[in-house]
């Protein structure tokens, strides 16, 4: 369904044609002294000057827009995760201060002057690079999403965490600046037997993952900047690995070493962790790609519907296999679907913003979104995934979520069927 201007006007007309703003919100808590035609209290005040905040911060009125963690989810905050407040965000850029964090030994604090990246193993020349060395190679600037393999992991056993932030917030999207590993490796050369890379972090956990060389040479990057500025400490300052479209755990932060070998290294993080335990006790391994997924960010459990009439539904879609081709939205639990508008730029392995206007007259809704990528892959229901994988999984839940909108406008995360 294309957006209908007539519908919008009809709906707004129903609210009265003039000055509807002060009437539509039952919970309106505004101070009448500040409303037109009065001069608001902030106008006579000479505000802060240009020398007060050399590096700016959000408004104090936005103090609820923060990363949040779930203390009971993990044993320590240093080996834990927090979540991006997707429900509060617009567009496709995640502000650096709100990019979710997942650490296994806390945030390493690295003096960039002392930073080095070592390349060793099955290469022709073992080499060591400083940050300044890395910057001598041709640079690329790319928007990519990063999603933790465990995003939505609690949901395998039902609708358990009642929030958009907690069920979908282990994903962020920034523009990275760095160098292609395929360029860097031309300097070291590769021996014919080199088939796998061990990527190693320099944090306390000594995070290590094996990556097949085809992926490394295809589109992997070593980056030093996100959204224009230096990587944030919690995102691997001064340099991290970028593995576009693949699970976030492989994007080694504070990266210190790439070792080339002829087989996977079978590290803890790809054997006991980041594998999908099936019902027969066997595990799916090396399930790296983050498949097509989407989420309606508003309405959502944190963003109830405030008024009847025209709503602007909005959400995010992404695919580790390439570009998002289409997003459909259902308001009735999957019986009927409408195609949402995708907002440019639509880039490969990047978040895409979608919107869909709809009319709400106070009825119950079951909101779902379903992404399709350029390979034709369609985001599944969790029942489809569970037929194959059972319910032991923690990882790779890219299923369709359902938001139940009550007659009051309240929104809850529910499981259908």
Q: What minimum distance in Å lies between the beta carbon of 196 and a second copy? A: 21
**Residue 176 in contact with residue 223, Cβ under 8 Å?**
yes
Q: What minimum distance in Å lies between the beta carbon of 335 and a second copy? A: 25
* Closer CB to a second copy, 308 or 415, in the complex: 308
**Residue 305 in contact with residue 365, Cβ under 8 Å?**
no
Question: Strand, coil or helix: what is 381?
Answer: coil
**Residue position matching structure tokens 């519907």:** 305
Smallest CA-to-CA distance from 168 within 180, 150, 195 is with 150
Peptide bond into 299 cis (omega under 30): yes
* Closer CB to a second copy, 7 or 392, in the complex: 7
Q: Which residues of 95-121 are buried (b: 16+ CB within 10 A; e: fewer)?
A: ebebbbbbbbebbbebeeeebebebeb
Q: What minimum distance in Å lies between the beta carbon of 257 and a second copy? A: 8
- E strands within 166-254? 171-180, 196-201, 208-212, 221-226, 229-230, 240-242
Give the pairing of strands 255-261 and 117-121: parallel
* Closer CB to a second copy, 264 or 301, in the complex: 301
**Neighbouring C-beta atoms of residue 274, cutoff 10 Å:** 25
Q: What minimum distance in Å lies between the beta carbon of 250 and a second copy? A: 19
* Closer CB to a second copy, 168 or 176, in the complex: 176
* Closer CB to a second copy, 347 or 385, in the complex: 347
Q: What minimum distance in Å lies between the beta carbon of 114 and a second copy? A: 4
Question: Strand, coil or helix: what is 144?
Answer: strand
Q: What minimum distance in Å lies between the beta carbon of 106 and a second copy? A: 3
* Closer CB to a second copy, 44 or 192, in the complex: 44
Q: Is the dihedral of CA 203, 207, 213, 214 positive or negative?
A: negative
* Closer CB to a second copy, 53 or 272, in the complex: 53
Q: What minimum distance in Å lies between the beta carbon of 1 and a second copy? A: 13
């Amino acid at each position: 369904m294309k957006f209908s201007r007539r519908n919008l006007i009809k709906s707004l007309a129903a609210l009265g044609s003039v000055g509807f703003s002060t009437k539509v919100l039952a919970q309106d808590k505004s101070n009448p002294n500040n409303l037109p035609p009065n001069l608001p209290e902030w106008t006579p005040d000479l505000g802060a000057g240009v020398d007060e905040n050399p590096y700016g911060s959000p408004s104090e009125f936005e103090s609820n827009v923060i990363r949040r963690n779930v203390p009971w989810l993990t044993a320590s905050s240093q080996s834990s995760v927090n979540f991006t407040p997707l429900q509060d965000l617009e567009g496709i850029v995640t502000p650096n201060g709100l990019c979710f964090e997942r650490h296994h030994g806390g945030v390493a604090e690295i003096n960039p002057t002392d930073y080095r990246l070592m390349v060793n193993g099955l290469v022709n020349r073992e080499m060591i690079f400083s940050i300044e060395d890395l910057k001598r190679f041709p640079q690329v600037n790319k928007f990519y999403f990063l999603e933790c393999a465990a995003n939505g992991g609690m949901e395998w056993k039902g609708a358990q965490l009642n929030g958009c932030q907690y069920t979908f917030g282990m994903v962020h999207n920034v523009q990275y600046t760095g160098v292609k590993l395929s360029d860097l490796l031309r300097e070291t050369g590769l021996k014919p037997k080199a088939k796998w890379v061990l990527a190693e972090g320099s944090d306390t956990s000594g995070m290590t993952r094996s990556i097949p060389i085809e992926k490394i040479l295809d589109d992997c990057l070593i980056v030093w900047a996100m959204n224009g500025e230096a990587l944030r400490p919690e995102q691997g300052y001064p340099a991290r690995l970028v593995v576009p479209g693949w699970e976030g755990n492989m994007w080694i932060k504070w990266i210190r070493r790439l070792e080339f070998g002829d087989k996977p290294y079978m590290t803890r993080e790809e054997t006991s962790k980041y594998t999908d335990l099936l019902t027969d006790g066997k595990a799916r391994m090396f399930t790296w790609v983050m498949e097509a997924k989407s989420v309606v960010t508003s309405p959502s459990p944190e963003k109830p519907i405030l008024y009847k009439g025209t709503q602007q539904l909005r959400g995010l879609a992404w695919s580790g296999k390439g570009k998002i081709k289409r997003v459909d939205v259902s308001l009735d639990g999957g019986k009927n679907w409408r195609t949402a508008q995708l907002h440019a730029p639509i880039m490969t392995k990047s978040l895409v913003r979608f919107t869909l206007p709809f009319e709400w007259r106070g009825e119950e809704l079951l909101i779902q979104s379903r992404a399709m990528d350029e390979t034709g892959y369609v985001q599944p229901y969790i029942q489809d995934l569970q037929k194959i994988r059972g319910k032991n999984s923690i990882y790779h839940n890219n299923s369709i979520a359902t938001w139940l909108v009550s007659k009051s406008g309240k929104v809850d995360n529910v499981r259908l069927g």
